[in-house]
């Protein structure tokens, strides 16, 4: 049982480290937010589950608060990330320069294909990328 607990805690630490690297290394707010919300949710939940199992197995103490914390993290973290991304989008925070398709803008405006402006931006990004390579 202690190996399962150690595996949960170590995997939680691993996912938390991946989340912190993603926040530092990714290019724009949207991808950083994705890394922070997905990886840290899994990381924190794994650590909390390992702590819950530790107290339950070794101390015979059933901590319902740890299970509630896991449930609330799974519910609140994605919703918070979604709200942050939507508010950034509506505040005109630009995505990374290589982002071609903006699906939220497409859904709100109601067009299916790329506009001329988006096609021009895509061509410019493609040319800039070829020049950088």
pLDDT digit string (tens) for 59-116? 888 888 989 999 999 999 989 988 988 888 778 777 777 766 666 665 566 555 656 7
Instruction: Give pLDDT, residue 92.
Output: 76
Using a pLDDT cut of 90, give the percent of the chain over it.
31
Instruction: Give pLDDT, residue 100.
Output: 65
Q: What does the pLDDT average to over 23-44?
A: 87
Distance CA 48, CA 93 (A): 34
Instruction: Give pLDDT, residue 13.
Output: 93
Instruction: Give pLDDT, residue 72.
Output: 93
Kindly report the pTM of this predicted structure: 0.68
Q: Buried b / exposed e across 97-128, counting CB within 10 Å, b at 16+?
A: eeeeeeeeeeeeeeeeeeeeebeebeeeeeee
112: helix, coil or strand? coil
Owner of token pair 């995505």: 95
């Amino acid at each position: 049982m202690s190996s399962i607990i150690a595996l949960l805690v170590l995997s939680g630490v691993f996912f938390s480290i991946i989340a912190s690297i993603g926040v530092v290394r990714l290019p724009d707010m949207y991808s950083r937010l994705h890394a922070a919300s997905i990886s840290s949710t899994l990381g924190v939940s794994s650590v909390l589950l390992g702590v819950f199992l530790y107290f339950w197995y070794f101390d015979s103490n059933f901590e319902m608060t740890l299970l509630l914390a896991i449930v609330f993290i799974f519910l609140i973290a994605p919703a918070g990330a979604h709200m942050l991304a939507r508010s950034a989008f509506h505040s005109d925070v630009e995505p990374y320069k290589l982002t071609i398709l903006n699906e939220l803008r497409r859904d709100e405006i109601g067009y299916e294909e790329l506009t001329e402006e988006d096609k021009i931006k895509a061509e410019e990004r493609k040319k800039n990328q070829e020049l950088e390579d």
